[in-house]
Amino acid sequence: MPVTVETPIEKWNGKVREVTLGATQAEGGTRTSTVTVGGSATLPFLHFEGSVPHRPVIAIQIQDVDPQDWSPALRAAWGDTTKDVVAWAKKAAELGPDLIALNLRSAHPDAGNRGADEVAQTVKSVLGAVGLPLIVYGPGVAEKDNDVLVRVAEVTAGERLAIGLCEQGNYRTIVAACLANGHIAIARAPIDVNIQKQINILINDMGLPLDRILMDPTTGALGYGLEYSYSVLERLRLSSLQGDGMTQMPTICTVGEEAWRAKESKVSEGVPEAWGNYAERGVIWETITATTQLQAGADIVVLRHPKAVGLIRKTIDLMMAQ
Amino acid sequence: MDKSGVRKNPDGKCIIVFKPSGKIVEAEQGTLLLDAAKRAGVEVQTPCGGFGRCGRCKVQIEMGEVARRQGPHLTQAEIERGVALACMTVVKGDVIVYVEPKEVTRLAPPQETTAEKIALPIACEWQRNPRIRKYFLNIEPPTLADATNDFDRLRRELKRQAGVDNVFASLQVLKNLPTVLRQDEWNVTAVLESDNTDNGNGSQPSRLINVQSGDKTKTSWGVAVDIGTTTVVAYLVDLLTSKVVDIASAYNGQINAGDDIISRIIYSQRGDGQSQLQAMIVKTINDLLIELGGRNRVKLPEINEMVVAGNTTMTHLFLGINPKYIREEPYVPLTTHPPIVRASELGIRINPEGGIYAFPSVGSYVGGDIVAGVLSSGTFQSGKLTLFIDVGTNGEIVLGNADWLITCACSAGPAFEGAGVRNGMRAVPGAIEEIWVNTETYEPTYRVMGNLPPQGICGSGLLSSLAELFVSGVIDKGGRINRALKTPRVRVGEHGAEYVIAWASETQHEQDIVLTEADINNLVRAKAAIYAGFSVLVNSVGVTLADVEQILIAGGFGRHINIEKAIQIGLLPDMPWDRFKYLGNTSALGAYTTLVCQDMRLLANEIAAKMTYLELSADNSFMNEYTSALFLPHTDTTAFPTVQSLLDSTRERLALSGTSVET
């Protein structure tokens, strides 16, 4: 006897806010295309329940110094291009991502300590080499971030870059630069829903519109807190669907950085044989972390390995197919 | 002592001279300066309990050799100038030490509301069954024909003239009996203590606690004492009229051994620390009694009864019970219902036979002070859903009504009492008690207790400065000072960003009075702990804050709370002001009520038994509520609509006047 099972449909009051990255010439920038994320009126991929107007997107992460500390598996995949950030950006763009995420590592005191003007020029040249919208990360040292990112924001005014990271201890300067130059701020919190909301509020209090804020609730890689970041992403999505305007920003997850930090992605020797081929292992680590984050509600995943980019694109295709 | 000051006595003893008092002690080499100071009777403050954590016990080595242990509280320059932390420094030879006299501890705290205003907070038939009764008896002297012994003779007359049966006495009282009986031709006053709380029919035995010659029935005295971690308050009560005749208060003598109960417990575990702490509180209480007795011409042995209310640790220390296990998981006290002890057992200088009743507690972190508070607040008889908040270091909270009570303690820390804050101080003359900050110029105006030049900021001043700096936009919702503001008041000092409340030229000590970002964080943490505490409590019984019909605020600090500002920073929930009520020192009021009306002891037991204790450390929603409250006023801004609209209107006004709120 056939049994009819009714699919339960949840009625939500809110939805994720739409944020558009990048600006075309007509919009005051130089991008050949823009990317809009967010807009979901349901939990991830529940097409039967509510609208999912935009697919989650992929950013490929590159940096402006040759990343000698990266896993050999990653370095092998990119080859020599990592020595020249412009060549790297072009090669990354060929893989068909939605965005490029540029780390301004060279400004870090331990990695060259380049000055703001020089670094800003790097950003300009990357913008000149690729037409995709850009995410720009400072070196992660408050003082340098404030110095470098302000300069970057100024020379790229109107490009609608996503700029980060803004944290509770250091956000004012970066937010002010985004505010003045038409960029988007990335709000980072340490795997904590409350703190995420607090930094969102602080940024919005400075006058930056809510559709120019992205949330980065901090990613934990597989085996390194993935379940915590899953839970936080899910709670943020639930809260935004329940109508809390201060948690409705789309989310961005730095998957590649975290997954390739794991011992399992880096170490080839002295590990059990059952762990399998080491080069593949890293890709799998990154892919599983990214897939999980997407299932939990990530709107942007920032990846590192070309193979992971392909696998995740395929995953997103499948999840978006109705 | 020679010029170098590094001479050692032949017997190895060092001579330590304390200036400016000139007190001298001999001590072994290697003696801690702090211990030497104690022996010399020189007061050195150690709010952290003597662990080198707070840096408040700085002294100046004027001459001689000492060895310092490393610590973060001394700069190299200070060490070169001879500054040392008394708790971290041992003597190596003869030493001359200068100890800055601490005016603050010698000043009396502000007196409670004048005695005349104190009335029994809840109704009780105190005359029906007084615990202390006095009987004037004219006794037939013994003869050869009637050779009944002295005590039986007294008992016979008590039975005959007063109808009191079943009287017993201690040897101490009996020893005096023969003399006293014959002193005034067999005219005596017998003082009886009757524990009739069970049924009131007088069948319980009565204790004869004193026999005095002549008629002494015209007066009858008792004292009610609140043993606070910081402040001790004593009420002198006329037991014949139930009136509070006078009130005295002083700082708890244990303060120098640590600001909070944890530091005190730690202190009690070192050497004879526990008996030192007991001696300190007994001395504090005796000093208060001497003050009250002197002012009111009452001889202390005429005081026949004492009721004390304190938190569980204070009660343990007062009674000489080891508080060690209060601090260790699973946090059990020796007892929640201490037995009645005689004053002589503790060295309290009232009638040595007088009983001392300590309020029952609920558990290690909800003590007799809270039971007394709930009793005097009437929460237990109210039909209204009531939230009772004791805004103190321990932050005890009670929720309930006549039918049920649930309680928790949320360890807010001493920030609102001025400890752990750079320029914090207790509420004494010289303390900034209220601050206003101009929203456009960021210039402050302040009010100082006693109209003196300011010396520091007390709890109410800290609360108002946090609220004012927040509303005026000097600090953001995360408690961070906006360093980009164009005002000399905001600067980055040695300890990070800070806001200058008073310039050196205005202050008593000619140093700037500032509020640092670290201070702000401490205050925000304290308020978050209290807000999270009652949020969890309210949620745990399935109601919401909006359901709470009245909020009663207690504690010494509670008298100063400005409701408006407390709501602005999210210490108290955003509710109509008429739902809040100040109660003042509810612990002392509860002790007083119980002193006058012994039936209240049954109620106290009932309340203690009725309170369900919620252990927040075992409740996983507390951390979430706490982080959520670590924001001004709160992460859930919808819970603070009036604050949000105030911020919005401030922002609008500034926009109109052209002053930018942004960096």
Per the rule left: phi > 0, alpha: psi between -120 and 50, beta: everything else, A184 is: beta
DSSP string, B384-401: S-EEEEE-SSS-EEEEE-
The whole-number average pLDDT for the span B586-612 is 93
Q: pLDDT, tens digit, for every residue of A261-279? A: 998 888 888 888 888 888 8
Return the pLDDT at B572.
94
Cβ-based neighbours of B627, under 8 Å, separated by 6 or more: A192, A194, A195, B528, B635
Report the percent of chain B where pLDDT is more than 90.
Answer: 54
CA neighbor of A310 nearest in space, from A293, A290, A296, A292: A290
Angle between helix B517-540 and helix B459-471 axes, rounded to 10 deg: 100
Q: Which residue has the tokens 């119980």?
A: B594
Q: What per-residue confidence (pLDDT) applies to B114?
A: 39
Structure tokens at B254: 């244990």
**Which residues are A59's β-sheet partners?**
A99, A302
Nearest to A198 among B624, B631, B662 (CB): B631
Which strands form B243-251's sheet, in the order they lie side by side? Answer: B243-251, B231-238, B221-227, B303-310, B355-358, B341-342
Total count of domains within chain A: 1
In chain A, which ranges are continuous DSSP H helix? 72-78, 85-94, 116-129, 142-155, 172-181, 193-205, 226-241, 255-259, 263-266, 278-296, 306-320
User: In the prediction, which pLDDT does B5 show?
Assistant: 43
Q: Which residue has the tokens 């070309």?
A: A306
Please, are residues B588 and B224 in contact by the beta-carbon 8 Å criterion? yes
Average pLDDT value for residue range A293-309: 98
Domain of residue A293, CATH code: 3.20.20.20
CA distance B305 to B352: 10
Residue type, A115: G
For the cut 70, the answer to whether the pLDDT of residue A181 exceeds it is yes
Cβ contact B435:B465 at 8 Å: yes
State whether A198 and B624 contact (CB < 8 Å).
no
Identify the pLDDT of residue B563: 85
Angle at A308 between CA A306 and CA A313, to 5 degrees: 100
Mean pLDDT of B402-414: 87
Q: Per residue, what are the HEC states of B512-562?
A: CEEEEHHHHHHHHHHHHHHHHHHHHHHHHCCCCHHHCCEEEEECCHHHHCC
**What ipTM was assigned to the predicted interfaces of this complex?**
0.84
Q: How far is B531 from chain A (nearest CA, A)?
A: 15
Separation CA B553–CA B573 (nearest Å): 12
The percent helix, strand, coil of chain B (3-state, each to 5) is 35, 25, 40
The confidence band for B346, taking pLDDT boundaries of 50, 70 and 90, is very high
Residue of B nearest to A194 (CA): B628
pLDDT band at A22 (very low <50, low <70, confident <90, very high): very high
The predicted pLDDT at position B628 comes to 95
| Mean pLDDT of the B399-416 span | 87
HSE-up of B598 (CA within 13 Å, CB side)?
23
Mean predicted lDDT score pLDDT of chain A: 95
What's residue B52's pLDDT? 63
Residue B2 has pLDDT above 70, yes or no: no
SS3 content of chain A, % helix, strand, coil (to 5): 45, 15, 40
> Where in the sequence is the domain holding A309, given as residue range(s)?
26-320
- Enumerate domains of chain B plus CATH numbers: 13-101 (3.10.20.30), 132-213 (3.10.20.880), 223-358 (3.30.420.480), 371-414+524-643 (3.30.420), 417-516 (no CATH)
**Burial annotation B350-377 (CB, 10 A radius, 16+ → b, else e):** bbbbbbbbbbbbbbbbbbbbbbbbbbbb
DSSP label at residue B452: P
Whether residue A12 lies inside any domain: the answer is no
Contact B278, B320 (CB under 8 A): yes
pLDDT in tens, B275-315: 999 999 999 999 999 999 999 999 999 999 999 999 999 99
pLDDT band at residue B70, thresholds of 50, 70 and 90? low
A198 lies in some domain: yes
Non-local (6+) Cβ contacts of B304 within 8 A are B132, B191, B193, B209, B210, B220, B221, B222, B239, B350, B351, B354
CB B363 within 8 Å of CB B200? no
Task: Using the predicted structure, report yes or no on whether residue A92 has a pLDDT greater than 90.
Answer: yes
* Residue B657, pLDDT above cutoff 70: no
Select the more confidently predicted residue: B457 or B663: B457
In a domain, A149, yes or no: yes
Check residue B200 and give its pLDDT. Answer: 47
| Alpha-helical runs (H) found in A85-167 | 85-94, 116-129, 142-155
Of B482, B624, B662, the CB nearest to A207: B662
**Mean pLDDT, to the nearest integer, of A232-242?**
97
Q: Look-up: residue for tokens 């002294």?
A: B59
Q: What is the CA radius of gyration of chain A?
A: 19
- 8 A C-beta contact, residue B626 and residue B529: yes
Is-contact B449 B433, C-beta < 8 A?
Answer: yes
The model's pLDDT over B374-384, given as tens digits with 9 standing for 90+, comes to 999 887 788 89
- What is the least distance, in Å, from the CA of B543 to any CA of chain A? 21
Q: Do the Cβ atoms of A201 and B635 come within 8 Å?
A: yes
Helix (H) or strand (E) holding B132: strand B132-138
Helices (H) and strands (E) in chain A, counts: 11, 10
What would the mean pLDDT of B196-225 be, rounded to a whole number?
A: 84
B3-50 per-position pLDDT tens digit: 444 445 556 788 899 888 888 888 888 888 888 888 888 888 765 556
Closest residue to B627, CB basis, from A169, A172, A194: A194
Chain A hits for B628, Cβ within 8 Å: 194
Q: What is the mean pLDDT of residues B483-506?
A: 92
Percent share of chain A, pLDDT over 90: 91
Mean pLDDT of A122-143: 97
pLDDT in tens, A33-62: 999 999 999 999 999 999 999 999 999 999
The per-residue pLDDT for B520 is 96
**Residue B110 predicted with pLDDT over 80:** no
Average pLDDT over residues B379-402: 88
Peptide bond into B360 cis (omega under 30): no
A80 contacts A39 by C-beta, under 8 angstroms: no
Strands B431-437 and B456-457, how do they pair?
A: parallel
Quick: pLDDT tens for B162-204: 888 889 999 999 999 999 999 999 999 999 998 865 554 546 8
A125 in a structural domain: yes
Within-domain flag for A139? yes
Mean pLDDT of chain B: 87
Distance from CA of B622 to the nearest CA of A (A): 13
C-alpha dihedral (A103, A109, A113, A116), degrees to nearest 10: 70
pLDDT at A310: 97
Alpha-carbon dihedral angle through residues B317, B319, B320, B322, given to the nearest 10 degrees: -60
Nearest CA in chain A to B635: A198
Q: Which of B630, B637, B662 sits opposite A176 (nearest CB)?
A: B662
In chain A, what residues touch B477 (CB-CB under 8 Å)? 198, 201-202, 205
Which of B624, B635, B663 has the CB atom closest to A198's CB atom?
Answer: B635
Helices (H), A136-262: 142-155, 172-181, 193-205, 226-241, 255-259
Domain membership of residue A7 (yes or no) is: no
Name the residue in chain B with its Cα closest to that of A190: B627
